[in-house]
Structure 1
Amino acid sequence: MKKKYYRLALALLLLSGSAAYSQEDTVQHIVPGRVNSAAAMKQPYVILISADGFRYDYAEKYQAANLLGFARQGVQAASMQPSFPSVTFPNHYTIVTGLYPSHHGLVNNTFYDPEKQSNYSMGNKAKVRDGSWYGGTPLWVLAEQQQMISASMFWVGSEAAVQGVRPTYYYNYTEKINTDRRIAVVKEWLSLPEEKRPHLITFYLSDADHAGHKYGPDAPETGEAVRTVDAIVQQLTAAVRETGLPVNFIFVSDHGMTSVDREHPISMPAAIDTAKFLIPSSGTMVELHAKNAADIQPLYETLKQQENHYKVYLKTNMPAYLHYSSTDDKLNRIGDILLVPDWPYVFSERKPGIGHHGFDATVVKDMQATFIAWGPAFKAHLKIPAFENIHVYPLVARMLGLKVTTPVDGRLEVLQPVLK
């Protein structure tokens, strides 16, 4: 009888905890006491939309009619090049800081920080919401520091107090808030009194990435996910249009998607002694952190002789164009030894999934991302060549009349020609 009681009590406790978490997970967070300055109220509005995993060619490949229409009305890049590695957290944070991953500190979705003696992982909510992991000055922090209200319907870093600052309005990431509600919230934000109204809004969609991983980039299910994203963007723009405000839209993605060789995964080399090396991540790159620096060179030389469908690098000899070497590693988070697979191979101890990203985007074109922009600030009917995603940051700052106050890797002159 007692056992039954304890089981029931435990079940109720877990249920109540789950309900509390669910409720907390969907609540809007508002930082009180902030207002737009008189100068900020005169600026236009920017909604920065990210569709995770929306490959550079998806709009044409799957006939995303609305996005193709917006591209014709405004600006479309041949592609946007993600930073290395071409994975979600580093690149979302690069877009909003104008810094390469090695410079802002999110060097992978999961990585090790020797100084903290701790791993960061995108699945660890406590780490995700800890501002000490994040370098750079995200766009919403830049805006708030210059007395311009910002809002986030999800973005990497927006849940953390970076430099002690969060967006005025934000949600912790959850997929429990349906699309209709997300769009309604954006309209509510833009319907606020002028002094409380956000001029920068970030908006995130995961559909294309989920489908690409599960079914591969060429599957009908992925095409359906692309068209779902297309319909959401149309619904969002229609809702925003009703406010009558001069809103500009920038539609981007963090990376592309490619199919990999599922029949010949690369096993972790037996020469790696896990008693001597930490391995925070694998897949499209393996990073090894040595517990003793004396072990680095011997293992590197051994692995170099065994290269097969992958290349081995020391942090000190990574190709300079990747901006992922010891000279770039501002927070000392890149591994001492890196194993980088040759496309279409990945590291895995079991049969890998169909769709992957993370490869060098200058070598594997499937890694390239999307950039489409439209609205009153943008030129019409303009096609531009491919560019690196670091350049989005100074563009948005210029559009909002914000002064870039810290050094960034992006350059305004790259994208300034897209503005009227």
Structure 2
Amino acid sequence: MSSRRDRFLLSPRDYDDDAESLRSPLSEQESDSEDDEFLARSRTTLELAEHDRTVLDDEEETEKLLTRTGPTHGLRRIFSPNRSNVRIGKKEEARRQRKKEREARRARQERRHRYGEEEMYEMEEGHRDDESSLLSSSSSDLDERVKEQYAVVQDRQTVSWRKLTLVFSAIFVLFLILLLGAYKASASFRASHSPTSLLSNGTALFAPTTILISLDGFRADFLSRGLTPTLNAFIADGVSPQYMLPSFPSVTFPNHFTLVTGLYPESHGVVGNTFWDPELQEQFYYTHPSVSMQPKWWNAEPLWMTAENQDVRTAIHMWPGSEAHIGGVEPSFIDPYNGTEALPRKTQRILDLLDLPGLEESQSDPARPQFIAAYVPNVDADGHKFGPNSTEIRGTISQADDMLASLFSGLQERNLTDIVNIVIVSDHGMATTSTERLVQLDDLIDLSLTSHIDGWPLRGIRPKRPEDLKTLQDQLELVASKYSHAIEIYTRESMPDRYHFKNNDRIAPLWVIPKTGWAIVERPEYDAQAALQTGDVYHPRGIHGYDHEHPLMRAIFIARGPAFPHPPNSRVDVFQNINVYNILCDSLGITPHANNGTLRLPLEPSGLHSDGEAPVLDNPSDPPLTQTAAAPPPTSSTAAVASGSPLAASSSAKPEEEPELETWWGGIWDKVEELKDWASDLLEGVKDGIA
């Protein structure tokens, strides 16, 4: 290797390449003393040369500089005042300046892309302020300085990694907090699927299980007739309101769908047992399963769909709407409607479902359902046929109570009394009809102007043409006052808000709603005036569908089980049946779909039922018998508007009063009918007292 002295003995042309070598680390060059002395003089020369260009232009100063630094041979020619050499020096300086700028730009780019390596980059490129000290140090000193610089960089990198670690730790802790919040929020759902929530009856494991039984047409005050010892004992062990309000209209199909959706009929779309859909241009009729059991009519998610979508098996026994394939989700078990099925068969069917293998035998796919819904139509059927105050209905009420006694006995034999939730409801009550409480719709309006008549016993009127609606309204206004004791007349827009019965196109634009106990008939199916004259008894003997808040329409709700940890005989405030869906979902540990209900488990008792056995209920009586509201066909002089009717408020007509035509035979027959009904009521009272 040539000595460093030889490297400096260069021509001016070669200077640029070797000038940069002076800035190289000393560890790459020899370190003998002679070279060190020469290097010191050369470094001084370079420093002075780069100090100021004016010094190089001054011949005297240049000579002094060369004299002070000693003979430098080739270097003397560089600093010669010769003008060509000066030009070379200027060019070299410009080139060095451009090189410095390029290096500065590279340094900035490196700093952008190399976090934590800024110090190392400056050392490697020779841009530190202490450059001269590095050049004058020995290789060992330089190594130490390099190590110190590396230590600084490593420290900075360590600090950076610590910061990153802290940031990631904070993010992880936040994620754990959010996860814990979600865990707690879904506690009820997890409970139904977690093995720790399983209950054992000694032989099998049960996930949260609820049995829902609907006693169709079971009026709330039936509990106070002394015919229901099982239900009364069930009330004493469980939690219940004095009664539960159905939804309007208080008929079977709308209310059974409300019970399993938590929605008002105007929201779920089943607005009556019969109705016309103007969009589908089809008629829904509940007794025609081929039509009514199509999913297009059922515009909501029933509970069995909610449960099955959350991996909870369901079994539905004859529930209205369960055969409609709603949402394409079927219950795990479904029993089609059979109106002739004996009550003991229903009991056995429920127990057989509970006897299916559960989680103790098949962890992946248990057969046993967790939700069982059973529909019992018997009380409603006999209430229509014989009336809610008949001797026959008393026997039917007792039979329904016996069926529940058999079910409870089967649960006790299986040690399931405190493991399975039982919820017993009804959909509505029942009112007694009479031939004296009939309104002949033909005498109120011109039926030839109507296209469809919806609902029963209330009547929704749809005109054939839009302009016919005003004509039908005018006709009702002319005769309404004569029937103010028997009917109410509303447009869809003027329907009372508490009915929640206006926000659906399936609701007819004009309604004639009978008062409780009254019925509306049309010829030729039934002629009310002729029936009075012949003494014909109107059927059905019992009707519902009236104002859902009337005492005769009150339903029941009674619950007991592990999801209802309330003191025995607890009484909760009266609520409407839109709340049942939420309660059932909570008892199963599933998340309910959006609905109109507000109650959630646990319920908040407001006290105890005072008699210790059953809710204290008044005994609502049937509407009084009055002379029939049947009347001759409407004329321009027919009496006018019903007081308090929304249509009456807008009417300016002042109809003339027309005396009611009576016959001597009609008067005598009315007295006979009143005497007969008085005797029937007296006999029923005596029987109830004996019972």
TM-score, scaled relative to structure 1 = 0.85
- In structure 1, the gaps of 5 or more residues are 1-36
**Is 179-188 or 202-211 further displaced after alignment?**
179-188
Aligned partners of 2:578 and 2:597 also within 8 Å: yes
Q: Which residue in 2 is equivalent to 1:27?
A: none
Amino acid at match of 2:423: I
Q: 1:383 aligns with which of 536, 557, 571?
A: 571
Structure 1 or 2: more helix by fraction: 2
Aligned partners of 2:421 and 2:587 also within 8 Å: no
Aligned partners of 2:444 and 2:479 also within 8 Å: no
Amino acid at match of 2:500: H
Q: Which residue in 2 is equivalent to 1:337?
A: 510
Bigger relative contact order, structure 1 or 2 (CA pairs below 8 A, ≥6 apart): 1
Aligned partners of 1:62 and 1:226 also within 8 Å: no
The residue correspondences of 1:163-242 to structure 2 (distance < 5 A) are: 163-194=327-358, 195-242=366-413
- C-alpha deviation, 1:353, in angstroms: 2.6
Do the aligned partners of residues 282 and 99 (structure 1) sit closer, same or farther apart at CA in structure 2, a change above 3 Å counting? Answer: closer
Do the aligned partners of residues 89 and 282 (structure 1) sit closer, same or farther apart at CA in structure 2, a change above 3 Å counting? Answer: closer
Q: Deviations over 1:227-249 (max 9, x none)?
A: 10000011112223333341111
**Is 113-122 or 265-274 further displaced after alignment?**
265-274
**Is 153-162 or 183-192 further displaced after alignment?**
183-192
Q: Deviations over 1:110-150 (max 9, x none)?
A: 11111111111110011232111102111111000111000
Do the aligned partners of residues 390 and 71 (structure 1) sit closer, same or farther apart at CA in structure 2, a change above 3 Å counting? Answer: same
Q: 1:359 aligns with which of 531, 538, 546?
A: 546
Q: Confirm whether residue 373 of structure 1 aligns to residue 559 of structure 2.
A: yes
Do the aligned partners of residues 92 and 415 (structure 1) sit closer, same or farther apart at CA in structure 2, a change above 3 Å counting? Answer: farther
Do the aligned partners of residues 182 and 136 (structure 1) sit closer, same or farther apart at CA in structure 2, a change above 3 Å counting? Answer: same
Q: Confirm whether residue 103 of structure 1 aligns to residue 231 of structure 2.
A: no
Alignment partner of 2:402: what SS? helix
RMSD: 2.0
Do the aligned partners of residues 62 and 269 (structure 1) sit closer, same or farther apart at CA in structure 2, a change above 3 Å counting? Answer: farther
Q: Which residue in 1 is equivalent to 2:477?
A: 304
Amino acid at match of 2:570: L
The residue correspondences of 1:91-130 to structure 2 (distance < 5 A) are: 91-130=255-294
Name the CA distance, whole Å, in 2 between partners of 1:63 and 1:271.
42
The residue correspondences of 1:3-402 to structure 2 (distance < 5 A) are: 38-39=193-194, 42=198, 43-194=207-358, 195-245=366-416, 246-270=419-443, 272-281=445-454, 283-307=456-480, 308=483, 309-325=486-502, 328-329=503-504, 332-349=505-522, 350=526, 351-362=538-549, 364-378=550-564, 379=566, 380-402=568-590
- C-alpha deviation, 1:44, in angstroms: 1.4
Name the CA distance, whole Å, in 1 between partners of 2:601 and 2:441.
41
Aligned partners of 2:437 and 2:517 also within 8 Å: no
TM-score, scaled relative to structure 2 = 0.52
Aligned partners of 1:283 and 1:348 also within 8 Å: no
The structure that has the greater radius of gyration is 2
Alignment partner of 2:521: what SS? coil
Amino acid at match of 1:303: L
How many residue pairs get aligned? The number is 377
Aligned partners of 2:246 and 2:548 also within 8 Å: yes
Do the aligned partners of residues 201 and 348 (structure 1) sit closer, same or farther apart at CA in structure 2, a change above 3 Å counting? Answer: same
Do the aligned partners of residues 238 and 311 (structure 1) sit closer, same or farther apart at CA in structure 2, a change above 3 Å counting? Answer: same
Name the CA distance, whole Å, in 2 between partners of 1:62 and 1:205.
20
Do the aligned partners of residues 271 and 66 (structure 1) sit closer, same or farther apart at CA in structure 2, a change above 3 Å counting? Answer: closer
Name the CA distance, whole Å, in 2 between partners of 1:381 and 1:416.
13
Q: Deviations over 1:299-331 (max 9, x none)?
A: 113212311121211111111110001xx22xx
Name the CA distance, whole Å, in 1 between partners of 2:268 and 2:407.
31
Q: Deviations over 1:215-270 (max 9, x none)?
A: 22112211111110000011112223333341111111000011133224100134
